[in-house]
Amino acid sequence: MKDDVDSREDRIANLKGMGCSRKRVEDARFTQGKGNYVDDIKLDGMLFGDFVRSPYAHATIKSIDSSAAMEVPGVLAVLTAADLEPLGLHWMPTLAGDKQMVLADGKVLFQGQEVAFVVARDRYAAADGIEAVEVEYEELPVLVDPFASMTSDVVLRPDTVADDGSPANGAHGPRKHHNHIFTWEAGDKEPTEQVIANAEVVAEEFMYYHRTHPCPLETCGCVASMDKVNGKLTLWGTFQAPHAIRTVVSLISGIEEHNIRVISPDIGGGFGNKVGAYPGYVCSVVASIVTGKPVKWIEDRMDNLMTTAFARDYWMKGRISATKEGKITGLHCHVTADHGGFDACADPTKFPAGFMNICTGSYDIPTAYLEVDGVYTNKAPGGVSYRCSFRVTEAVYFIERMIEVLAIELDMDAAELRRINFIRKEQFPYKAALGWEYDSGDYHTAWDKAMQAVDYDGLRAEQAQRIADFKAGKTRKLMGIGLTHFTEIVGAGPVKNCDILGLGMFDSCEIRIHPTGSAIARLGTISQGQGHATTFAQILASEIGLPADSITIEEGDTDTAPYGLGTYGSRSTPVAGAATAMAGRKIRAKAQMIAAYLLEVHDDDVEFDVDRFVVKGAPERFKTMKEIAFAAYNQAIPGIEPGLEAVSYYDPPNMTYPFGAYVCVMDIDVDTGVPDIRRFYALDDCGTRINPMIIEGQVHGGLTEALAVALGQEIAYDDMGNVKTGTLMDFFLPTAWEVPNYETDHTVTPSPHHPIGAKGVGESPHVGGVPCFSNAVHDAFRAFGLRQTHMPHDHWRIWKTANELGLHDQG
Amino acid sequence: MSKKQHYTLTVNGTEEEVLAEPRELLIYTLRERLNITGPHIGCETSHCGACTVTIDGKSVKSCTMFVAQADGKEITTIEGLGGPDALHPLQQAFKEHHGLQCGYCTPGMITRAAKLLEENPNPTEEEIRFGMSGNICRCTGYQNIVKSIQAAAAEMNASKEAAE
Ligand code: FES
Ligand code: FES
């Protein structure tokens, strides 16, 4: 028969399925400047909207006068909270169960807050209009420190206080103070206290994981177009969760969901920035309804850094206890979480501190307790997962620093301390003290491979020599060896415990096989650079035996794609990837019946082989998937519906737990504070590997974002609540010049509950990278008495550390 | 708001007349008046390079140049480097070596890299990293961008040799 000429290997290669480094199908348009990002959208009569923003961090608004602005040529409307109030849209719900002002309602709570929305013919006219809007503010005392906020008389959010002045209960229970948002606990408090009180060794540390920002190269934006004739609203935007946005827009606007079409076009990076719902979206929709014209809103970089979606800002206090030999017995963690003026964290509803309770890390810690207090301050709202799954970055930083501090306390090698405390391979599935059940892992194998690859003992010997040379005045450079073994928790998640605004966090895939043996598959997720159109086709190719090149992947249009919760928290592969495999298996099941009919045997007498069904024991008798596809459309098969389509909504039974072992070697110039990253080795275990090329690219990118965060990137405020890092002049984004080459490596420990065993990888390098870079800085100074210094470790702070340790006195 | 003026630009070999306020930034003239949406906007402060174009033989960040300053100049954007029928070797190499992810920086990157290779057809890795340091990528970590540029340089040198 015709397709019988190729060997089995050739047939497998021809599919370009799972495990091969298939080139990306997205790249043709991007390399030719033909991507379609939201700011590329141009509609007839389209207007442009932009915000008047507060220069103050905390102030009462006495008045807003837009009369002069309305005189500016090209300005069509100026919206304020007063205009939105009759529609009930001057406030909106946040993903965290709080609410947020769309436009300033009587006061502002952070610098850059949206005060009025100017709608004009184009962006220049809008900018002129903004200049002409007169707002009278009366300044209020500013709280930028969450600890001060928790004791201050100043009430930041009068709307959250009962008539008698006491804090009303919040979305997550009772509140301790009028500026307190929630307390969230995991684990056992008393037993943990007891274990620590009776321990042979206890290490304590306090660390600040500073505020930063995901800062994708493309800022947030949207185009809203209300078609009044048909009553349909179309909303294009930089949405990491288009379906959830549609539901939210429907709930707050009252427009029926079937009359709303949300489209995420190409997205220029997200990293968590584009998960939430922002005032710009609401104002654009309202402006389009008011003017009857399409309205575009695009943030500039300063708007982006100052207002949408900060990340981190966790003050973490830890105690870790161990035996004299270094066996860890208990862990206690308290977090003061600075959420800014509104609690707009993008976490599953029941997890106001995300998955911070993964903070026991890769270690077998029998007893643990975590408590998180969320606090309001005069900073921007957000609290998104910047290239991580819901606060996992904070958790991993915490435990990986605590391990280092414990190693100092025990006077032990930090690699060995990790080794003796890892959860052992045979303990999986492993139930952690803070509640999670880790699916699979083999930490010792990964760790030993990493230590060997970098010649860890050799590095330590070199470091010892360097310290001796430094002390002898022969060098001014110290050497740091940063270690990290991280365990992530990704793929949110099981509907039983994960939802956002009541929407279960399943995901979906729908497949249609065309008569000639090609296909289209649509998913509930949306790529922002991860290459879904490439990798999901690979999963399908392996599952259904049609070449990946013959499968189109589509995402992001809510009118056509099945409902899903979107792409963030490394959930695409664990959840939508699973849905894809499951839908593929439904296709295969029907194909099996068709094949059996065509081959005139019983269903059980045929089996799947790469790209065909063969008669068991008679491999020369087969039907290819291509033939089966055609048969599905061209003949009546008794008892089988025509067509070949399937849909799967996948509710994962558990999260997935990718892990990895990272080593960073850096030289630090003690006199300038400049670190030179000599080597970075990253071993990742993300379970089954779908496309090694893309995995490697994700690792390079994630490590670079980790380098940024650890070594300089921050959103800093002064005491008046002014943002000090609002442009790319002050906000550190590394260039090619500052970034090293990375060595990547892997082990493969499949997830036992995922249909193809994949765990997700996009965020691992960021999660593991930050503590690794930071530990390297700390390690360089360990011999001189450093225990803990806060990130980001920019040149100035490193210099200061050296100075405080007295290392500049001898020169 | 100031009075609109006529300007003449040659973009990717085509002469274009535009009527715009002199304060209009070139990136908006290109993107919004001429529908050349390859160059992107990432900062508007000259830091990210997403808006990079070539003007009279030099790499320029078009977010920091007024249209008035571009009057009478020759401008090349990503759209002018190559298309579906004939990709520029850099476009090909970025695809081959996974030199992009979200693609937002890519037009600026490739446009800058094309200029770099014109100035220095045999750059070392260090020269590439330095020469590309005006262009930020948030996704790739640069390793594969460097690789792509090296591959394109090799390819371009080989075909030059073959032609000689
Ligand atoms: S937009 Fe021009 S350099 Fe960033
Ligand atoms: S590929 Fe996304 S910014 Fe470079």
Better-predicted residue by pLDDT, A346 or A120: A120
Asked if A577 and A676 sit in the same domain, the reply is no
A568 near A385, Cβ under 8 Å? yes
Which of A247-256, A444-453, B106-115 bottoms out in mean pLDDT, i.e. has the lowest? Answer: A247-256
Asked if A531 and A597 sit in the same domain, the reply is yes
A108: β partners: A59
B135 near B112, Cβ under 8 Å? yes
Ligand nearest to the CA of A35: 2
Residue B117: what are its φ and ψ, rounded to 5°? Answer: -70, -25
Ligand 1: list residues with CB < 6 Å.
B 41-44, 46-51, 61, 63
Calpha distance A48→A737 (Å, rounded): 37
Report how many domains make up chain B. Answer: 2
Any chain A CB within 8 A of the CB of B34? no
Q: Determine how β-strand A743-746 pairs with β-strand A382-384.
A: unpaired
Q: What is the CA radius of gyration of chain A?
A: 28
Give mean pLDDT, residues A185-207: 97
Find out whether the beta carbon of A148 lies less than 6 Å from any atom of ligand 2: no
- Per-residue three-class SS string for A667-691: EEECCCCCEEEEEEEEEEECECCCC
Calpha distance A100→A309 (Å, rounded): 13
Question: Which amino acid is residue A375, in one-letter code?
Answer: V
* CATH number of B16's domain: 3.10.20.30
Asked if A576 and A611 sit in the same domain, the reply is yes
Q: Which of A465, A473, A377, A404 is nearest to A177 (CA)?
A: A377
Q: Would residue A388 show up in a list of annotated catalytic residues for this protein?
A: yes
Which of B80, B101, B136 is the endpoint of a domain?
B80
Asked if A597 and A523 sit in the same domain, the reply is yes
| pTM score, whole prediction | 0.96
Instruction: Quickly state the pLDDT bin for A5 (edges 50, 70, 90).
Output: low
Instruction: Quickly state the pLDDT bin for B58 (edges 50, 70, 90).
Output: very high
Nearest residue on chain B to A729, judged by CA atoms? B47
Over chain A, what is the mean pLDDT? 94
Q: Which domain holds residue A570?
A: 3-35+507-650
Asked if A678 and A726 sit in the same domain, the reply is yes
Which token pair is A570? 């490394």
Asked if B44 and B86 sit in the same domain, the reply is no
Residue A4 DSSP symbol: G
For B:85-114, CB contacts with A below 8 A are 87, 91-92, 94-96, 98, 100-107, 110
Residue A477 lies inside a defined structural domain of this protein: yes
For A:520-579, CB contacts with B below 8 A are 528-531
Asked if A443 and A582 sit in the same domain, the reply is no
Report how many domains make up chain A. Answer: 3
The SS3 assignment for A335 reads strand
Report CA torsion sign: A128, A132, A133, A137: positive
Residue A27 lies inside a defined structural domain of this protein: yes
Asked if A29 and A47 sit in the same domain, the reply is no
Which of A337-346, A648-657, B77-86 bottoms out in mean pLDDT, i.e. has the lowest? Answer: A648-657
Q: pLDDT tens digits, residue range A134-151?
A: 999 999 999 999 999 999
Q: What is the pLDDT of residue A496?
A: 84
Asked if A743 and A720 sit in the same domain, the reply is yes
Q: pLDDT tens digits, residue range A211-248?
A: 999 999 999 999 999 999 999 999 999 998 899 899 98
- What letters, b where the CB count within 10 A reaches 16 and e where it falls short, cover A587-626? bbebbbbbbbbbbebeeebbebebbbbbbeeeeebbbbbb
Question: Which amino acid is residue A493, in one-letter code?
Answer: G
Calpha distance A56→A76 (Å, rounded): 27
Nearest residue on chain B to A270, judged by CA atoms? B102
Asked if A235 and A283 sit in the same domain, the reply is yes
Q: pLDDT tens digits, residue range A521-560?
A: 999 888 888 888 899 999 999 999 999 999 999 999 999 9
Q: Which domain holds residue B134?
A: 82-163
Mutation pick for ligand 1 pocket among B28, B40, B63 (CB with most ligand atoms within 8 Å)? B63
* A346 CB-side CA count, 13 A: 30
User: Could you tell me what percent of chain A has a pLDDT over 70?
Assistant: 99
| Max CA pair span of chain B | 55
Instruction: Quickly state the pLDDT bin for A1 (edges 50, 70, 90).
Output: very low
Asked if A54 and A8 sit in the same domain, the reply is no
Q: What is the pLDDT of residue A765?
A: 95
Name the residue facing A728 among B48, B78, B106 (closest C-beta): B48
Q: Which of A388, A454, A341, A247 is nearest to A702 (CA)?
A: A388
Return the ∠ at Cα A699 (arms to A770 and B105), rounded to 5°: 100
Whether residues A696 and B44 touch (CB distance < 8 A) is answered with no
Residue A132: what are its φ and ψ, rounded to 5°? Answer: -90, -10
Which token pair is A604? 């059980």
Name the residue facing A737 among B40, B129, B138 (closest C-beta): B129
Asked if A520 and A636 sit in the same domain, the reply is yes
Calpha distance B82→A795 (Å, rounded): 42
Report CA torsion sign: B132, B133, B134, B138: positive
Q: What is the pLDDT of residue A4?
A: 55
Which of B80, B101, B126 is the endpoint of a domain?
B80
* CATH number of A584's domain: 3.30.365.10
Query: What share of residues in chain A are helix, strand, coil (percent, to 5)?
Result: 30, 25, 40
Calpha distance A624→A614 (Å, rounded): 8
Which of A621, A650, A679 is the endpoint of a domain?
A650
Which of A608, A630, A650 is the endpoint of a domain?
A650
Contacts of A28 in chain B (CB under 8 A): 84, 95
Q: What is the pLDDT of residue B41?
A: 98
Any chain A CB within 8 A of the CB of B134? yes
Which of A72-81, A570-579, B77-86 bottoms out in mean pLDDT, i.e. has the lowest? Answer: A570-579
Better-predicted residue by pLDDT, A9 or A500: A9
Asked if B70 and B98 sit in the same domain, the reply is no
Give mean pLDDT, residues B93-117: 98
Which token pair is A310? 């900060």
Q: pLDDT tens digits, residue range A556-597?
A: 999 998 888 877 767 778 788 888 999 999 999 999 999 999
Over chain B, what is the mean pLDDT? 96
Whether residues A31 and B106 touch (CB distance < 8 A) is answered with yes
The SS3 assignment for B102 reads coil
Asked if B52 and B94 sit in the same domain, the reply is no
- In this structure, chain A runs to a length of 811
Q: What is the pLDDT of residue A489?
A: 92
Residue A707 lies inside a defined structural domain of this protein: yes
Q: pLDDT tens digits, residue range A335-387?
A: 999 999 999 988 888 899 999 999 999 999 999 999 999 999 999 998 888 88
* CATH number of B146's domain: 1.10.150.120
Asked if B39 and B95 sit in the same domain, the reply is no
